[in-house]
Structure 1
């Protein structure tokens, strides 16, 4: 059975993509992240995770405009970090815009259904996990076969 990626794995893969330098392909991403994931993931499994997919597309967009800065090692590390953080900020801005659009759509649909703000802000009901009104499994009723002679 394939190993599922944890949230730490997903975050590490996204950070790797934000700091990516050089040619970017799914196969090279799979090869590079296999060291800290423990197993080589497939491109399909990586591209199904929205955070990784968004980071991949952001790294693809930033690839052609990336410039090599000749600098001492301290400055090159800082430059790489700044580049990674700028890429991550752009991805988060895109995600924020999509969530804002989704919220506005929900707001419009709720208003069309006659819901007001107090109804939407109503807290979720408390769940009593100690008690259940329904039996876990209904009792089976055995029926006798019809048409058989004893």
Structure 2
């Protein structure tokens, strides 16, 4: 099952966070938001199809996220969990840890913001469009 949506890069994307990366519906971010790689997302966790939400709420489900800009892309793998409520109205967070909250899309991810492809981050910092695909 696959779900694709779009967000935008932002001049304050620094991608320095060591344990998470995030996509948000917020249009503006500050420099302290070093985990955010995409802003102005056109969907929230609440918008994910019900069958995908059910799959994500299973700890055996492997989740793959593809982040793609015009000239760069990266793939991140992690897992679902029954404790994921998937109901935050604006934020989607992928975590290297097993911490869960309403903002969490996946846990035990193999990459955080700091690990993402440098060309991808450069394009996001210049404001390029970000295509996000969730595959479960």
> Shared topology, TM-score over 0.5?
no
Tell me: higher relative CO, structure 1 or 2? Use CA pairs within 8 A at least 6 residues apart.
2
Q: TM-score range by the shorter chain?
A: under 0.3
The answer to which structure has the higher strand fraction is 2
Larger radius of gyration: 1
| TM value normalised by structure 1 | 0.20
| TM value normalised by structure 2 | 0.22
The answer to which structure has the higher helix fraction is 1
